[in-house]
Each structure stands twice: as structure tokens, then as C-alpha cells.
Amino acid sequence: DTAVSQTPKYLVTQMGNDKSIKCEQNLGHDTMYWYKQDSKKFLKIMFSYNNKELIINETVPNRFSPKSPDKAHLNLHINSLELGDSAVYFCASSQDERLEAAFFGQGTRLTVV
């Protein structure tokens, strides 16, 4: 069983569209994250969410929003997609964000055309 799974793995879409990336973890972790990998492979935190608190990286445009229907899921919604949103997005989860290492999903490559 995959611990952290993301769907889809690849997503090609046109500018201006709204899209979602789904993430599910079966580890029973309390905290989930979304990261954006830039062109130089740098992992930049976008959101951190547990059942108590949503932490948003202030540099993330408000076109991006996390939705958590339950503890095991943290989906990423993106409105009005722009060319610059093209990147690989990683979902991750951990039991304790500081003391426990995160488990990462396989990534979603988003291409905006």
C-alpha cells in the first residue's frame, strides 16, 4: 500500500482553468503538507495543515487553496491557472512536523499551456 498517494501524476491544462490535485495518506498522521518544487529542484512549503491549524506560506497566491475533507486527505485547488504555476507539486504527511520526518507522495507534474 502506498503511504502517501497523489492523483493525478501528470496534469496538463490551459491557462485560466481551475484544477485540483488530490492527496491521501494512510499512515494516520496528523499533519499534511503541500510543497512546490521549483525549476532548480528546491522544495518550497506552500501549506501545512493539521486538525487544529492551517499554516499558509504568505508568498503563495490566494488562487491556491487547500481543502481537507478529513484527516487523511489534503487536496490542492488552484484557480485561474497561470503559466508560472507549472511545476511539480508534492504532498507529504508527518506525525509531528518538527520531530518526525515527512513521508512524501510521488509528486504531480502540472503543466499549464
The residues binding another protein (CB under 8 A) are 33, 40-45, 48, 55, 90, 97-107
Block residue for cell numbers 503541500:
34
In this complex, which beta carbon is closest to another protein, that of residue 14 or of residue 58?
58
In this complex, which beta carbon is closest to another protein, that of residue 68 or of residue 97?
97
For residue 77, the minimal CB distance to another protein (Å) is: 20
Taking the alpha carbons at both ends of the chain, their separation in whole angstroms is 34
In this complex, which beta carbon is closest to another protein, that of residue 76 or of residue 81?
76
Beta strands at 10-13 and 108-112: parallel, antiparallel or unpaired: parallel
Torsion of CA 4, 58, 18, 83, to 10 degrees: -100
For residue 15, the minimal CB distance to another protein (Å) is: 27
In this complex, which beta carbon is closest to another protein, that of residue 85 or of residue 105?
105
Angular region, 98: left φ>0, alpha ψ -120 to 50, beta rest: alpha
For residue 53, the minimal CB distance to another protein (Å) is: 8
For residue 87, the minimal CB distance to another protein (Å) is: 15
Beta carbons of 60 and 47 less than 8 angstroms apart:
yes
